[in-house]
Each structure stands twice: as C-alpha cells, then as structure tokens.
C-alpha cells in the first residue's frame, strides 16, 4: 500500500517509473503446472447484481490523505485556462472603473449596501428591482441543469470555486513540497529542516492567497482603490477587517485542508445532480469493454500471443494518482468524481506510451460502452427534451430580463393606500382617501416631477406642501427616492366600494412618465 492507501505495484518503488516498471514487476499468476499466462489484477465486478453487501463494512471511513500527481494534457490545459480566467475576473473586477457621472460611484461592479444599490457596468439595480436577481438565479440554476444534462458535473470539475481554489492550493503544494512521489518520500523521511521550511513556505503562500481572496471580496462593497488605501493605513471600518479575516480562514481551511471533503460530504450538488442526470449525459467513464481484463504490457502481449483476451488497462494507477478526489474511475460511477477529466489526460499519456489508442477513459456514457461492447456504434444525444427545455427557459427568462432592461424607466412611482382610516367623510359630505406615494429618481441629477390622477372624474388631488403655480411639483434629488402624502377628495355621488384610480408622474424636462394604480374607497350610502 502507498502512504495514501492506494494499492501500489510490488517492485515499483519509484512512481515515476510508472507503467513500465509496473508491467515488468507484476507477476503472472499461473495455475499449478499451467504455463498459460493469467491476469495479474483481480478485475472488479462491473455488474451491480454481483456486488455483495458486507455487513462488517464500517459506515465511517477515516480520511485518506490525497497527493494528486502532476499531469499534462488537454483537460489539464482547459482547467488552467478556466482557473486563470475565473480568478482573474474575481481579483481584478473591483478595480475596473465606470463613469456614471459626478454624483454616482465610478466602480464598474459595486454592491452599495448603504444606498441599497447594485451597480453592474451600465446597469443599476434598485431594491424594488430585485426581480432581476430572481431572473439571474433562475438562469444560473437552469445553466447548471443544462451543464449537467450535457456533461454531468463539469461545473464541479472546472468552474466551482471550491475546485478552482483547491486546484490553486494543490499547485502551490506541488511547488513547495514537490510532486506526489517527492512529497510522499519526504513525509516518510520524517522531520527535517528542509521539510519544515517547505511546509512553512506552503502555508505562508496558502495564507497569502486566502488573505487576498478575502481582501478582494470586500472590495466589491466599497470603492476599491479608496478601501485598499484605508485598509493599508488601518483606517478602514472594522467590519472590512472582520470579513477579510473570516474569508481568509474559510479559504485556507476549505481549499488548503478540507479539499475533496467539501465535495464528498458538505456540498449538496452531487446528490441533486445524481437525481437530475440521465443515461445520455456525458460522464468521465472507463471503457471496461476495452480495458478489461487488465494486464501489464508484457503480459498483455503474452496473453494476446496465446490468443487470450487482454485489455488495454495496464494497471499503472496513473488515473488514480492524478485524481484530486482519490477516485478510481475504473470501479464505475462514483459520487466523489467531479468530472475534471484529469484521469483522461493521465490515461491518454499511458496509452500513447504503450501504443494503444487514446480515450480508454473518456467523456462518454455507460450506454455507449455497452453498445460498443456489443459491437454497435456509439450514440450521442445532446439534443433531448430536457436540454431543449432548459435552453428554452434560459432563453425566455433572458429575453424577459433583456426586454425589461431595455424598456426600464429612469423614474418609478409606487402607491400605498392608508389603512386606518380607509376614508374620511368631510363636513361638506365629500369623501377623502389618503395615500403614501413613493417616487424614485434613478438619474444622477435632481429632477422635478408633476403628479396627476385619472379614473376618478371630478376628484381633487392635493399633495401636501408641493403646490407650485397650481401644479404639484415634486423635487427628487439625484439617485434618490422621496415619499409624499397625497390626498384625493371626491365630491361625486359615488356608489360604495372601490373605484380604480391611477397616479401619473411626469418629468416636463425629459417628457418621461410613470404610472401606478390603486383604489379609491367610498362608504355605504356614498
């Protein structure tokens, strides 16, 4: 057994010697007097019906430390590219500037909690426009479902923050403590000054990355250059330091220490994903029709020479050694597999060395593997009812949000009818209703609005303290809201009950309008 608990070849002390040493060291099992080559590996059953539940199997398994080995290949390159882009976006976005005029913040992406605004480049979301957030959440959920329907847990394997930061922390670990073999050898060698220094360097770099991750997060909530200056001169608010501390700790703990444990035990998505997937979703899959029965290179040649079957898997365990969650994908689908594709890269490299075709492990479906085992052509069905449905929902919600954004106004009005009393009968017999009207000016300059009503012929409008030249002129400051008391008095002999009434806001300078509806309530007997 290796230090991480995986089964290692007997004579291959040097993991770098890899598959060839393994192939040479592995012994053929031969029956008494029988010189016919047999397979070394006990191939696990891939038939669930053959699996047996062992009553003695403990329900708790202690953590097995994982030492992922460096690997090169297509999927590794994709993961590096995704890591650079996503971390680049996260760390640098707060420093992007966006000119919104003199009285508005100049940061492109800003969550302005004190003024209850969210700025995203040219878009400014007000609290009453929280439905945009709802739309974004629906699109995000449907995109996740779509990814799952197309290629299983590719979100987990490439884009999930836990994966991205863990990948970065593992790269730092390999940089400071060496690749898998070197790291294991150093740990077996006990405590030395060099090991302590390397360990110290690793934790220092981890803490630096974690600290900058927490620091970048708070920059989304205030003007980034100003906050950086305030943080450096110890003049930033305490809450900023507190959040940086909390996020430094969580990043260091989750990406540095807990790693795959988060995916295996804490994250609900693997369970939800397993319930959402179907047989046509592409998953990282071991082609047991090609790989089994496993044999070393030499033995496979001998077996083939005797006309016996020999699979392409040479039992080198490279696919297991590169896996960030310690999964042996050859055992079949596994909840711990995050579909990162690194085992594909590892196995492709092995196949290239042994002169066998690549993609013994590949993004494929179990259905296709069965089909290929039966000599049928693989069948890919990326366009299915569920993928079309997810796409349709994304397109519909995206379309509605785009339309709403393009047609949104720079002012809004909302009306709230007084609850107590609902109406008042005046001494002259007229009925009066009172309302609270909230007007929002979403422009960065001061504006004047006039207010009027319709739907209640003959009724009089009175806006407390805002009359000007016989009109009700309401001044609202830049990027502000204003609440006003509005009285509507009706002298008509109106039947009891509710009559719809509309409130109209008008900006005479720009000609822009906004309206909101409510009801005028009258008592029995008018």
Asked if residue 346 binds ligand SF4 (CB under 6 A), the reply is yes
Distance in angstroms between the alpha carbons of the first and the last residue of the chain: 92
CA 89 to mean position of chain CA atoms: 14
Asked if residue 285 binds ligand SF4 (CB under 6 A), the reply is no
Asked if residue 338 binds ligand SF4 (CB under 6 A), the reply is yes
What does the radius of gyration of the chain's CA atoms come to, in whole angstroms? 34
Asked if residue 295 binds ligand SF4 (CB under 6 A), the reply is no
- Going by C-alpha positions, the residue among 383, 373, 386 that lies closest to residue 278 is 386
User: Which residue in the block uniquely carries the two structure tokens 């006309």?
Assistant: 307
Between residues 334 and 452, which has the closer beta carbon with respect to ligand SF4?
A: 334
Positions 51 through 80 that interact with ligand SF4 (CB under 6 A): none
Positions 312 through 331 that interact with ligand SF4 (CB under 6 A): 313-319, 322-325, 327, 329-330
Q: Residue 461's beta-bridge partner residues?
A: 488
Q: Out of 15, 343, 434, 437, name the contact with ligand SF4 by CB under 6 A.
A: 343
111: helix, strand or coil: strand
Between residues 76 and 117, which has the closer beta carbon with respect to ligand SF4?
A: 76
Under a CB-based contact definition with an 8 Å cutoff, are residues 18 and 292 in contact?
Answer: no
Q: Which residues contact 189 (CB under 8 A, 6 or more apart)?
A: 195
Characterize 289-328 residue by residue with b for buried, 16 or more Cβ atoms within 10 angstroms of its Cβ, and e for exposed. Answer: bbbbbbbbbbbbebbeeeebebbbbbbbbbbbbbbbbbbb
Q: CA separation (Å) from 304 to 30, 39, 291, 310, 419?
A: 16, 12, 14, 6, 89
Cα 99 to Cα 221: distance, rounded to the nearest angstrom: 17
Asked if residue 310 binds ligand SF4 (CB under 6 A), the reply is no
Output the smallest distance, CB 37 to ligand SF4, in A: 18
Cα 316 to Cα 23: distance, rounded to the nearest angstrom: 8
Between residues 147 and 505, which has the closer beta carbon with respect to ligand SF4?
A: 147
Site string for ligand SF4, 226-265 (x = CB under 6 A): ----------------------------------------
Q: Out of 83, 337, 413, 415, name the contact with ligand SF4 by CB under 6 A.
A: 337
Q: Out of 66, 216, 297, 342, name the contact with ligand SF4 by CB under 6 A.
A: 342
Output the smallest distance, CB 67 to ligand SF4, in A: 13
Q: Out of 361, 369, 486, 505, name the contact with ligand SF4 by CB under 6 A.
A: 361
Asked if residue 108 binds ligand SF4 (CB under 6 A), the reply is no
Q: Out of 248, 251, 285, 339, name the contact with ligand SF4 by CB under 6 A.
A: 339
Output the smallest distance, CB 512 to ligand SF4, in A: 55
Asked if residue 365 binds ligand SF4 (CB under 6 A), the reply is no
Output the smallest distance, CB 154 to ligand SF4, in A: 10
Asked if residue 360 binds ligand SF4 (CB under 6 A), the reply is yes
Q: Residue 119's beta-bridge partner residues?
A: 110, 124
Cα 302 to Cα 309: distance, rounded to the nearest angstrom: 10
Dihedral of the CA atoms 398, 400, 406, 410 (nearest 10)?
-120
Beta strands 431-441 and 424-425 are antiparallel
Asked if residue 474 binds ligand SF4 (CB under 6 A), the reply is no
Q: Out of 144, 151, 254, 340, name the contact with ligand SF4 by CB under 6 A.
A: 340
Q: Which residues contact 311 (CB under 8 A, 6 or more apart)?
A: 288, 290, 291, 292, 293, 294, 295, 300
Q: Residue 448's beta-bridge partner residues?
A: 475
Residues in the chain: 526
CA 51 to mean position of chain CA atoms: 35
Judged by CB under 6 A, the stretch of 310-318, 400-408, 415-423, 463-471 that binds ligand SF4 is: 310-318
Asked if residue 432 binds ligand SF4 (CB under 6 A), the reply is no
Between residues 362 and 453, which has the closer beta carbon with respect to ligand SF4?
A: 362
Output the smallest distance, CB 25 to ligand SF4, in A: 15
User: Which residue in the block uniquely carries the two structure tokens 């309008």?
Assistant: 513
Output the smallest distance, CB 57 to ligand SF4, in A: 22
Q: Out of 264, 347, 437, 476, name the contact with ligand SF4 by CB under 6 A.
A: 347
Between residues 64 and 229, which has the closer beta carbon with respect to ligand SF4?
A: 64
Number of chain residues interacting with ligand SF4 (CB under 6 A): 28
Cα 236 to Cα 214: distance, rounded to the nearest angstrom: 15
Judged by CB under 6 A, the stretch of 54-62, 106-114, 183-191, 345-353 that binds ligand SF4 is: 345-353
Between residues 301 and 450, which has the closer beta carbon with respect to ligand SF4?
A: 301
Interface residues with ligand SF4 (CB under 6 A)? 284, 291, 313-319, 322-325, 327, 329-330, 337-343, 346-347, 350, 360-361
């Amino acid at each position: 057994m290796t230090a991480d608990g995986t089964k290692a070849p007997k004579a291959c002390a040097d993991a770098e010697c890899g598959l060839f040493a393994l192939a040479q060291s592995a012994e053929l099992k031969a029956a008494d007097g029988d010189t016919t080559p047999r397979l070394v590996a006990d191939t696990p059953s891939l038939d669930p019906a053959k699996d047996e539940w062992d009553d003695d199997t403990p329900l708790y398994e202690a953590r097995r430390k994982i030492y992922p080995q460096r690997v090169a290949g297509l999927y590794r390159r994709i993961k590096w590219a995704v890591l650079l882009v996503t971390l680049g976006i996260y760390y640098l976005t707060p420093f992007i500037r966006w000119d919104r005029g003199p009285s508005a913040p100049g940061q492109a992406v800003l969550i302005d909690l004190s003024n209850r605004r969210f700025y995203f480049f040219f878009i400014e979301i007000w609290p009453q426009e929280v439905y945009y957030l709802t739309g974004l959440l629906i699109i995000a959920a449907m995109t996740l479902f779509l990814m799952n329907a197309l290629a299983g847990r590719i979100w987990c394997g490439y884009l999930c923050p836990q994966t991205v930061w863990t990948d970065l922390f593992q790269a730092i670990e390999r940089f400071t403590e060496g690749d898998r073999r070197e790291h294991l050898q150093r740990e077996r060698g006990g405590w030395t000054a060099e090991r302590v220094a390397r360990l110290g360097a690793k934790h220092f770099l981890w803490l630096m990355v974690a600290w900058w991750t927490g620091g970048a997060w708070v920059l989304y909530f205030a003007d980034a250059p100003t906050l950086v200056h305030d943080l450096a001169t110890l003049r930033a608010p305490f809450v900023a330091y507190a959040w940086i501390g909390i996020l430094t700790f969580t990043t260091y703990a989750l990406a540095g220490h807990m790693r795959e444990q988060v995916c295996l035990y804490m994250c609900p998505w693997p369970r939800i994903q397993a319930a959402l997937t179907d047989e046509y979703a592409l998953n990282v899959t071991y082609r047991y029709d090609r790989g089994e029965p496993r044999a070393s290179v030499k033995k496979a040649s001998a077996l083939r020479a005797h006309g016996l079957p020999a699979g392409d898997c040479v039992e080198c365990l490279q696919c297991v050694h590169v896996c960030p969650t310690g999964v042996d994908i050859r055992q079949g689908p596994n909840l711990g597999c995050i579909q990162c594709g690194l085992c594909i890269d590892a196995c492709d490299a092995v196949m290239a060395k042994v002169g066998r075709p690549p993609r013994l492990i590949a993004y494929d479906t179990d259905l296709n593997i069965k089909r290929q085992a039966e000599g049928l052509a693989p069948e890919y069905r990326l366009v299915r009812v569920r993928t079309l449905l997810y796409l349709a929902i994304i397109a519909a919600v995206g379309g509605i949000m785009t339309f709403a954004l393009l047609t949104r106004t720079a002012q809004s009005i909302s009306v709230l009818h007084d609850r107590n009393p609902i109406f008042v009968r005046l001494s002259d017999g007229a009925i009066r209703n009172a309302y609270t009207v909230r007007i929002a000016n979403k422009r960065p300059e001061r504006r004047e609005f006039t207010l009027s009503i319709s739907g209640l012929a003959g009724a009089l409008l009175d806006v407390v303290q805002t009359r000007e030249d016989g009109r009700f002129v309401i001044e609202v400051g830049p990027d502000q809201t204003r609440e006003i008391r509005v009285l509507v008095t009706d002298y008509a002999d109106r039947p009891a009950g509710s009559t719809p009434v509309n409130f109209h806001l008008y900006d005479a300078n720009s000609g822009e309008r906004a309206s909101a509806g409510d009801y005028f309530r009258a008592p029995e007997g008018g």
